[in-house]
Amino acid sequence: MKPLEGILVLEFAQFMAGPLAGLKLADLGARVIKIERPEKGEGGRQIAIKNLFIEDDSLVFHTINRNKESYAADLKKPEDLAKVKRLIARADVITHNFRPGVMEKIGLSYPDVCRINPSIVYGAVSGYGSYGPWANKPGQDLLVQALSGLTWLSGTKHDGPVPFGLAVADMFCGAHLVQGILAGILKRNKTKRSVLVEISLLESILDMQFELLTTYLNDGRKPPQRSAVKGGGHPYLSAPYGIYKTSDGYLALAMGDLLAIGTCIGSDLSAYTDKATWFEKRDEITEMLNGHFKHQQTAYWCNQLEKKGIWCAMVYNYHQALQHKAFQVLGMLQEVTLANGKALITTRNPIQIDSVSLYANRGAPKVGANTFSIDHEFNII
């Protein structure tokens, strides 16, 4: 039995942050019903990576919406809205990520929903909070990365701002929404009253940077100092932290004793006995290490360094990582069955409950695929 079995979630969310939260809740056993527009469904069905689609829906949509049901309703029609309200009366949780004011206009704001269901956990995602000068600005991942300072952490100091190659704001926000909803369920169970859970993309991406922001705020508000040399992994960490070119690939070095590394690889680093210089002269040190690592293969260096207890790793691409036994023993891949009967390979939830991994083999639903059965189940015909 999964821990959230018996919890009913109505998902009014679209695109990524809100649906990602629904995905994680479904993986944990909750029943998640997407409330979607008839025919077209939610906007995320048309947001694609590399323009990859499975029939009418994007591959991205399928990765985020497995193990859910779809209920088609036009919330502008009184009869459809009335049915949805009857579903809300039976639900434990509802989520949405519309811009501020949209749910109010529909008549499904937090106070409205509380009148329907006084014990609801109401999860709301916004781009930048419900109030303030950015409240109505589009809450899109790249824009949030740009506005939060995040783009000044990667790359070198010569690169200008560099965005992440992932929708990190959406992903962290979805995870934070799950945390808030779980806390809300616990509070609701104690108080028997409704709980409002609110999170924004901007707050999530700022929280993701808590270490660096704390450093900035307590270090004279000096901006992050990225390395001038490619491969530097962190704007606030000293050498040798980073990625180095070898004769056949790349080597990652974590925090470690620079002098011990020098001895291990046959490089004279005695000029850097003072650890305080490891940050100030990290570019110089990095260049020196690069000069040594480029002459041997990555496996050779890993073997030499690991024998001395120095933290290092080969830098793998997806093909290399997925072929490695260390990845395969985790069982992180699963097949889900799509509505057309075909299989889609994706990842599973990373959490284990009582030493059991969480798998789900049901793919994302077609728009309105479950409307008829839900109407009959909840007697809202």
What is the residue type of 70?
S
Cα separation, 176 vs 97, in Å, equals 13
Element (H, E) at 143: helix 141-148
Closest CA to 101 of 77, 136, 140, 144: 136
Q: How far is CA 153 from CA 148, 194, 205, in A?
A: 11, 40, 13
Cα separation, 283 vs 109, in Å, equals 54
CB neighbours (10 Å) of residue 300? 16
Q: Which burial class, exposed, middle or buried, applies to 215 when counting CB atoms under 10 A from its CB (0-12, 13-18, 19+)?
A: middle
Torsion (CA) 277, 278, 280, 281 in degrees, nearest 10: 100
Q: Where are the beta strands (DSSP E) in 111-270?
A: 121-126, 195-200, 242-245, 250-253
Are 184 and 121 in contact by the 8 Å Cβ rule? The answer is: yes
CB neighbours (10 Å) of residue 223? 9
Are 35 and 371 in contact by the 8 Å Cβ rule? The answer is: no
Catalytic residue among 57, 92, 170, 207: 170
Cα separation, 287 vs 152, in Å, equals 22
What is the residue type of 170?
D
Cα separation, 200 vs 147, in Å, equals 13
Cα separation, 78 vs 277, in Å, equals 69
57 is catalytic: no
- Strands 121-126, 195-200: parallel, antiparallel or unpaired by DSSP? parallel
CB neighbours (10 Å) of residue 303? 12
Helix (H, G, I), strand (E, B) or coil at 365: coil
At 198, list the tokens. 């609110």
Active-site annotation, residues = 170
